[in-house]
A = this chain, B = another copy of it.
Amino acid sequence: MKRFERLFAPRAIAVVGVSEDAVRPGSPTVHTLLRYGYDGRVYPVNPRYAEFAGLRCYPSIAAIDGDIDVAVLGVPSRSVLPVIEECAAKRVGYAVVLSGGFRESGPEGAALQERMVATARATGMRIVGPNCLGLANVQNNVYAAFGSITRTPKLANGPVSLVTQSGGFGYSVALACAAEAIGFRNVIATGNEADIDTIELIAGLLEDEHTGIILAYIEGLPDGRRVLEAGRRALAVGKPILVWKGGVTEQGARAAASHTANMTGRYDLYKALFKQTGIVEITEIHEAVDYIKGFQSRKFPAGQRVAVMGGSGGSAIVFADAAESSGLSLSSFTERTKKQLSEVVPAIGSVENPVDFTAGYIQGGNADKFEIAVRSVLEDPGIDGVCVNFATIGGASCLAGAEVLSGLAARTHKPLVVFLSVPPEETGGALPVFREARIPVLPSPGRAARVLAMLAGYARTRNSATRTAPAGEPIRMPDVLARDRRGRALSEVESKTLLARAGIAVTNERVVRSAEEARLDGLAVPLVVKIASPDIAHKTEIGGIKLGIRTQAELRAAVSEVLENARARAPAAQIEGVLVGEMVTEGFELIAGALNDAVFGPVVIVGAGGIYAEALRDTTCRIAPFDEQTGHEMLNELRCSTILRGARGKPPLDIDALARALGALSRLAWDNRETIAEIDINPLFARREGATAADALIVLRA
């Protein structure tokens, strides 16, 4: 590890605030360092003791002779600042502040926290916490922590590093992993994140050669763009990140707000972040366990086609149900595979997918046949991953089966997972064999299927992750539009002009000043007539819209009428004129828009429009900028995509044009992120040829 080297592999740790009273957080730090045999120097600090836990105890940081890489502070909050000053003066590398009483306790604590950070920054010292459980490097026996992190049993060594904004809950996830023999590299509870935050730690862990998998519990992050970068880098270097996002519902966010000052942020944007980076979202503790097992196999399905084999029909059915729900398909075998299977599977079984090799098949005496059966399926070119249902097979049979699969796993690049339901003590020693062979063993067929689906999804994202927005000249807003308009909306005409410049088709239309100016020429009827004013947002309500105009006479009458209505009912509004445009009479209404989010910056949203827009919340979003292919992915996620593809015998609509429009919208929002707050295209018509913005509103940043 380059970054954080002194933090995670310190040669000397000072612990300020040790006490015979075990409740003080410094004491367990020292005890744990000694218990697990940390091989650097440990300096307890407390002016009241000459000795602590058999070590010389120092009156102050300043009194310590040697260099200090990490100082752990377990003193009351009022005493923290002087110690930080001492640490800074002594050029300590990192201060891990366990103490509470800072930002989380109110304005006074927040001010104290700010002074602490300012003091540290003056000398380049970095801070973890305050108000945290601290951190551990399990491999190096480094414990700058208290509470659950220092309690027995010690976590085993392994490739997982955990970063958590909740010490208690994060460590609960770690304990569940530990119960399934998953090992850890680092555990960091970040507390208030006054200085070092989750994103910086994740970025650092990506450089740590001993960290292979990153697990994070987060409530909120200050900068979504930095996570986007870290996530993309993680994908590139092949280190999966699993994230549990807390506070994703209204009640959850409210609970988080009362507990932390982290902004929880919009969940839909986090979802977009996960999709765009391959970050794997987890929403249950056992998902963390299952998915880490999956990633430890280091094998990824090349596609979604899986096979399931076993002697329990019910287990195969349950696997098939879960496979379908998670996007996998149980595809057919080649004739060759079926022939090979039929030579080793009893006649009363089945050589189709699911393979039923009948009850009692997995056992020592049958190892050769079992080996051929599984190998045949693994070698089938139409199969990307295999689940073998051991179900209730225990004892020596279980071990014999594990040994067969262990041999096969060593010679395949396809993932092989196992469903096994007998208690660990009844497995005949099979579990270590499976672990050694990196074969994930799951306690239900459904969870086995979801591990395969997750791995397939991760691989798919990884293969498409190099894509970002296409290069090209930035689409800049003309200065004249932005000038003196901050915080205000552009008119419909201005908004559409900008969309057209970005390459998004808008309705064919022109602005007229009076009824006399209005002409049908060059426009295809029916027409729509709308008042054009930057000050009138809701045109319908003041009688500012007329639809279905077909003749010159109707046109003039309509223009006069909307002008009169506007003057009468919105006398203060500045009137640009009247917009005369072609009405879109076919196609399907979508809503598209861009939003400049406080955490993520420009994001693009698309969804079903019309009467269903609010009712269905059939929307999806992505962080801008992105390419046309991402636009396709977004449209595919919408439930109304079946309509776009041509439902009920209707012709398909121009999905390519929609996807291009979304990409263009993302570019427009990104290129003008300093000026544009919001873009709203409602409706965006999906048509048989093309996609047309029929109305649009651009709001500038305040």
Which residues of A are in contact with B by a Cβ distance under 8 Å? 23, 100-101, 104-105, 147-148, 151-153, 164-173, 175-176, 178-179, 217, 219, 244, 246-252, 254-256, 258-260, 283-286, 310-321, 323-325, 329-330, 348, 350, 352, 354, 356, 359-360, 391-392, 394, 421-423, 426, 443-447, 588, 611-616, 618, 639-640, 642-643, 647-648
Contacts and interface: CB of A to CB of B under 8 A. Distances in A.
A207 B312 CA distance: 30
A283 B446 contact: yes
Given A359-B147, A446-B284, A648-B614, A164 B314 contact: yes
B312 A169 contact: yes
Given A219-B314, A324-B250, A284 B447 contact: yes
B320 A251 contact: yes
A136 to B, nearest CB: 14
Contacts of A251: 320-321, 323-324, 329-330
A316 to B, nearest CB: 5
A325 B247 CA distance: 12
Nearest to A259: B313
Given A166-B314, A259-B313, A639-B616, A321 B392 contact: no
Contacts of A153: 423, 426
A421 B177 CA distance: 11
B612 A285 contact: no
Contacts of A647: 611, 614-615
A611 to B, nearest CB: 6
Given A153-B423, A315-B166, A356-B259, A172 B285 contact: no
Given A168-B315, A614-B647, A615-B640, 6 more contacts: A172-B312, A247-B320, A252-B317, A254-B330, A255-B313, A259-B317
Within the oligomer, what is the number of copies of this chain? 2
Contact of A320 (B172, B254, B319, B648): B254
A655 to B, nearest CB: 14
Contacts of A615: 639-640, 642-643, 647
B316 A176 contact: no
Contact of A392 (B168, B318, B329): B168
Contacts of A171: 391-392, 421
A391 B168 contact: yes
Contact of A612 (B248, B316, B447, B643): B643
27 contacts: A104-B348, A148-B392, A151-B426, A167-B314, A168-B310, A169-B314, A169-B445, A171-B421, A173-B421, A175-B422, A178-B423, A246-B318, A247-B317, A247-B321, A249-B325, A251-B329, A251-B330, A252-B317, A252-B324, A254-B330, A256-B317, A259-B317, A259-B356, A286-B443, A612-B643, A614-B642, A615-B647
A647 B165 CA distance: 39
Given A175-B392, A360-B23, A165 B247 contact: no
Contacts of A446: 283-285
Nearest to A255: B320
Contacts of A249: 320-321, 324-325
The 4 nearest A-B residue pairs measured at CB: A166-B314, A168-B312, A169-B314, A172-B421
A247 B175 CA distance: 34
B172 A391 contact: yes
Contacts of A618: 616
Given A254-B320, A320-B252, A166 B286 contact: no
